[in-house]
Amino acid sequence: MYDLNFKPKAFLFDLNGTMINDMEYHTLAWYSIMTEDLGARLDYESVKKEMYGKNHEVLERVFGKGKFNAEEIERLSIDKEKRYQQGYMPHLALIDGLDRFLERTKEANIPMAIGSAAIPFNIDFVIDGLNIRHYLDAIISADDVKTSKPDPETFLKAAKALNITPAECLVFEDAPKGVESALNAGMPCIVLTTTHTIEEFEGYPNILGYITDYNDAKLNTLF
């Protein structure tokens, strides 16, 4: 059982759906490619359920392993990210209250890292577009890990980069697979309900609470 009153020594953020509310645009980009370009007979909700992990893993889950060679996967991935960025660019913004939360965390000398399945191309698009790189002490991207969430590698590498033990880190996540990754890493988690309903997180014992944005008063207990 996790201590609801513990004071974390580091904050680890998933990026998409956790720092920015952009998962709809990732889903729309994949939906367009899968249904219009690749002829898959999928509805939007079916595509949404596959929105975790690396791009090649998404393609393998939907179409099966071996359907595309490495060159085709790279081409589809780049196309998808370009469509995503084009669609999301006019809406690029931090989730409400996160700007103040980042500033407060920095003032409290609590280190912060991103642990995301996103590729550097997308991470740079977000953190430089929003000018928040100076808040971050480490960034773990899809290129830095061998095994995606729910494997704990992403968050364990982030904790190691900050030189903080896993149990002293608090993860902010928006997806069940991300919460499971934190659980596997031995880390408590706060869930952003930007992408999934509370009911979809049933059974995860490492969740300390749910928030819709970073204005939530329960975050005050972390400092």
3-state secondary structure of 107: helix
d(CA 185, CA 53): 16
HEC letters along 13-36: ECCECCCECCHHHHHHHHHHHHHH
**DSSP annotation of 68:** S
Instruction: Assign 18 to helix, strand or coil.
Output: coil
Tell me the C-alpha distance between 60 and 21, whole Å: 25
Six token digits for residue 190: 């706060």
Residues in the chain: 223
pLDDT band at 3 (very low <50, low <70, confident <90, very high): low
pLDDT of residue 140: 98
Range with lowest mean pLDDT among 35-49, 103-117, 133-147: 35-49
Average pLDDT over residues 107-114: 98
pLDDT of residue 1: 45
Strands of 10-13's sheet in order across: 138-140, 112-115, 10-13, 169-173, 189-192, 207-211
Q: How far is 85 from 53, CA to CA, in rounded Å?
A: 18
Rounded CA-CA distance 122/110 in Å is: 25
What is the pTM for the complete model shown? 0.87
Say whether the peptide bond before residue 120 is cis (omega within 30 degrees of 0).
Answer: no
**Which tokens go with 109?**
């000398």
Cβ atoms 126, 92 nearer than 8 A: yes
Q: Convert the pLDDT of each residue in 35-77 to its tens digit.
A: 999 999 999 999 988 888 888 899 999 999 889 999 999 999 9
Is the pLDDT at 2 greater than 60, yes or no? no
Residue 4 is predicted with a pLDDT of 62
CA-CA distance, 5 to 20, in Å (whole number)? Answer: 26
pLDDT digits (tens, 9 = 90+) for 170-200: 999 999 999 999 999 999 999 999 989 999 9
Q: Which of the 8 DSSP states describes residue 37? A: I
Question: What angle separates helix 70-88 from helix 120-129, to the nearest 10 degrees?
Answer: 20
- Residue 183 has a pLDDT of 98
pLDDT (0 to 100) of residue 50 = 87
Q: CA-to-CA distance for 182 and 206, rounded, in angstroms? A: 8
Kindly state the percentage of the chain with pLDDT values over 90.
85
Residue 88, classified by CB atoms within 10 Å of its CB into exposed (0-12), middle (13-18) or buried (19+), is buried
Any idea which of 20-24, 31-35, 53-57, 107-111 has the lowest mean pLDDT? 53-57
Q: How confident is the model at residue 23 (pLDDT cuts 50, 70, 90)?
A: confident
